[in-house]
Structures are given as structure tokens and as C-alpha cells.
Amino acid sequence: MLKDRSLRDIEPQHFISQDGLLEVDLIAVPSVYPIGRHQAQLLTYNGQAPGPILEARAGDTMRVHFTNQLTQSTNLHFHGLHIPPTGTGDNVFLEVPPGETWTYEFALPRNHPAGLAWYHPHYHGLVAEQVYSGLAGPILIRGDLDEVPEVKAADETLIVLKDFGLTRSGQVATPNALFKRWGREGDLLTVNGQLRPSYGLTAGQLKRLRILNAATSKIFRLALDDHALQIIATDGGALQKPIKVDELVLAPGERVDVLVQANQKPGTYPLLSLPYDRGIAKMMDKPLETSVLADFTYDGAAEAEPMPLPEILIPVAPLSAPSTIRELVLDHGIAPGSGAPFLINGKAFDHGRIDTQVKLGTVEDWVLVNKASMDHPFHLHTNAFQVIERNGEPVVDLVWKDTVNLEAYETVKIRVKFSDYAGKTVYHCHILDHEDQGMMGIIEMRA
Ligand code: C2O
Ligand code: CU
Ligand code: CU
């Protein structure tokens, strides 16, 4: 059943916790949603794509009454939240069949880092299709980073990036066999569900851009014309101090929080999607292009004394030395018995098999080896990690991540502490077609 939406003026729903509780109804439902001149027939949360913004603080309880009005099974994953992976928590093994309701309820720990997380379906085998059809929404956790005076003074804009491929009548186009295998991508690049929206920049002020790559497979390489980007947070929370870059690469699942000084001449500056080859460009025979994602326009002339950047943010404590070191090899091939082409340590995902057992409270180093000629963004649920080495070189600036992109043939070493929650969850490639085709493993955290 398709619900009609009037063109444009779809105000994104934004739910904020009250007195320590965020209680929301979330309905996964097919809906007609306008993208440019298309009346897109998407899968949405509450009729919106991206779904409603959920906002809470560390220590709050979240209660999400989730109803599945799709014609296939689905569920929810709370990507980036440090919460129990079991029961009514971030339980990705759960199936919510069509017509059913499930209430997710969990408390965010009091020391939960502030940052940008998100929710999306995680029902194995249908994840790529459902996310590509529109299902994904942002979660803002407020806390210490938001209280840093310069960050607090900045004007905040959320940027949810998502690509769509539509037929002329507005249906989500079925990807061809090559895209289905290597990761589907669409030509319509949207920001907050819109084609090339405009945002304001107040001259002399700081703009805080909170960017989520909610695409199924597309890796974005981003730049804001003539403006430096000061990274203040990554997937797992704040940095120790800002890191200045001119462009950044964001793989599916990754988030970044940047400050921009509006210190240029008045005018309009595009947010650009720059060419990026994740290793499949030759096969796809599709030119790599630069396109404009959004426009940022100054209101007024820059003042002589622009607002300062923060010098110091939130400490990032190094984790202690690991008690175990493991290797995870990412590659594609044919797994004996299953035929699935995307593998971790030679095996395709099996929901009945535990691949990795760890002890709660311990620190481990994982050496992630990409033996493939294409990128694989590696994601671990429940606990954020620190990237400590890339291709044998130590990483100096420690940051918190839950998804790290491995370019073709790269080796990355991550360090992770398994804290607070026992139970089973998963790690996987966040190119969701790869995940659906087997590039996922089960980890059990034992008390
Ligand atoms: Cu955003 Cu298991 O994923
Ligand atoms: Cu996740
Ligand atoms: Cu992959």
C-alpha cells in the first residue's frame, strides 16, 4: 500500500528525549517520496527517507516501537551505539516479519560518547536491498563534545548521504548482475533525501557539518569548494583536537563531524562528490565523475575576525596492550559448500557458527588483511575501536571508529576493548551487497 506525500515540504521528523526517555513509533512502510522531479517509490521509516532523527543523551533510555509494514522481514540495527547486542537491545539476529511489531528498549550508558550514529535494517540477505530502497535514519547522541564552547557556538547541519537508482516511473531500479555482485550504486546522489539542496553559511561563523554515509555501496570522496574541513569527530566520537583536511573519503557506514570556518568571499560554494574508484570502475565501465551534492551560500560578508576553532576537544585515551592478536582476511572467491563469493578467513557467513570468541573486559588487536583488488569497509558492532596501524605504519592520531575502509590490498590493525556487554553480534563489510553475499562473521563476547 502506497501512502501519498505532497511534493516538497516534507519536514523531517525529529524526536528528542524528554526526562531521560526517548519513546518513538517507527514504521517501516513503502511510501512515495519526492526526489527532484521523481515520485520515488521507496521504503521509508514513517514515510521519510532518511528516517526521523532520533536524539538522546548519554544515560537516556530509548524505547522504539517498531512496526514492519513491508512485505518482507526486516529488523533494526543501531549502528554506533554501545548497548547490549541481545534481547530488546541491538539484536541483529531478530526477525520482525511483515505485520509484526517489536519494541526495542535499552539504556545508553552514562559514559556513552557523544556523536552521530544511525539505524538501518540488518536482516541478513535483504540488507542491501532494503537500505538501497531508502531505509536508514540518523541518531544524535548529545554530550561533552556539544558543550565545547566553539562547537556549541557553531551552526549545525546534518548531512545524510544516500544514492538512489530509479526507473522512469519512480521505482527503485533493480541493479544489474554486476552491481548486485560488486555493490549496487545509483546515479541520484541525495543529501537528506533531496537533490542538491541549499544551506546557509553565516559569514565569520563556524558551520558544523555532521555527515553520514548511508549509501549501500558508494564510497564518497567529499570536498567543500575553497573551504578547509576541520575534523572534530569520527564514527565513535570526538577527537582530541581538530584535524584539518581539504577532502575526505567516507565509506558506507562511516560518519564524520567537521567544522568549517565561513571565511571566504560571499557567494555560493558547492559540496562536491569527487571521483573515487573503489576497485570496480573498470568492470562497471562507468565514468568516474565529479558532481555537486549541495550548495552552501553566504549570508553577508565575512567579518574581519572570524570565530575561532577549538584547540582542544575530548581526550582519546590509548587502549592498553592486547592480550590476543587475530588476523581476519577479507577476500572473494568460492566458499566450499556455499558458493558465496565474499569471505572472511575463507568462510561465508553462517548464522549457526561462532567465528570469534572473546573475553569480556579484554583488549585485542585485529589485523585486517584485504587480499582483494577492491575496497572493503570493515565494521564491528557494539564496541568502537582505534586504528593503530595502516600498512605497517603506526597511526599517530588516535580516533574512535566502528567502520574502517580497507583499500585494495591494504592491511589495517585495529585495537578494541570488549566492554560491558556479553553476547553475540557481528562484524562485516559495510558494502551491504558484500555482507549479504557472505562477508560477515559472528563474534561472541563471553563474561
Ligand atoms: Cu551499519 Cu552491521 O551495520
Ligand atoms: Cu553496525
Ligand atoms: Cu566488501
Q: From the CA of 426, give the closest atom in ligand 1.
A: 2
372 CA → ligand 3 middle, Å? 9
121 CA → ligand 2 middle, Å? 10
205 CA → ligand 1 middle, Å? 35
81 CA → ligand 1 middle, Å? 11
Structure confidence at residue 4 (pLDDT) = 42
Q: From the CA of 435, give the closest atom in ligand 1.
A: 2
Structure confidence at residue 333 (pLDDT) = 86
Q: From the CA of 92, give the closest atom in ligand 1.
A: 2
**CB distance 122 to ligand 1 below 6 Å:** yes
How many other C-beta atoms are found inside a 10 Å radius of the C-beta of residue 109? Answer: 15
80 CA → ligand 1 middle, Å? 8
Q: From the CA of 252, give the closest atom in ligand 1.
A: 1
Nearest CA to ligand 1 atom 3: 79
Indicate whether this model's pTM tops 0.85.
yes
Considering every ligand atom shown, identify the ligand nearest to the alpha carbon of residue 376 and give its number.
3
**CB distance 434 to ligand 1 below 6 Å:** no
Considering every ligand atom shown, identify the ligand nearest to the alpha carbon of residue 252 and give its number.
1
**CB distance 381 to ligand 1 below 6 Å:** yes
Residue 147 CB contacts under 8 Å (≥ 6 apart), including other chains: none
282 CA → ligand 2 middle, Å? 30
381 CA → ligand 2 middle, Å? 5
Structure confidence at residue 258 (pLDDT) = 98
Mean pLDDT per block of 10 residues along the chain (447 residues) reads 44 95 98 94 97 98 98 98 98 98 98 98 98 98 97 97 97 94 96 97 95 98 98 98 98 98 95 97 87 95 81 97 98 78 95 98 98 97 98 96 98 98 98 97 98
Nearest CA to ligand 1 atom 1: 79
Q: From the CA of 122, give the closest atom in ligand 1.
A: 2
Q: From the CA of 118, give the closest atom in ligand 1.
A: 1
Considering every ligand atom shown, identify the ligand nearest to the alpha carbon of residue 128 and give its number.
1
430 CA → ligand 2 middle, Å? 8
**CB distance 79 to ligand 1 below 6 Å:** yes
Q: From the CA of 80, give the closest atom in ligand 1.
A: 1
Considering every ligand atom shown, identify the ligand nearest to the alpha carbon of residue 216 and give its number.
1
**CB distance 379 to ligand 1 below 6 Å:** yes
62 CA → ligand 2 middle, Å? 17
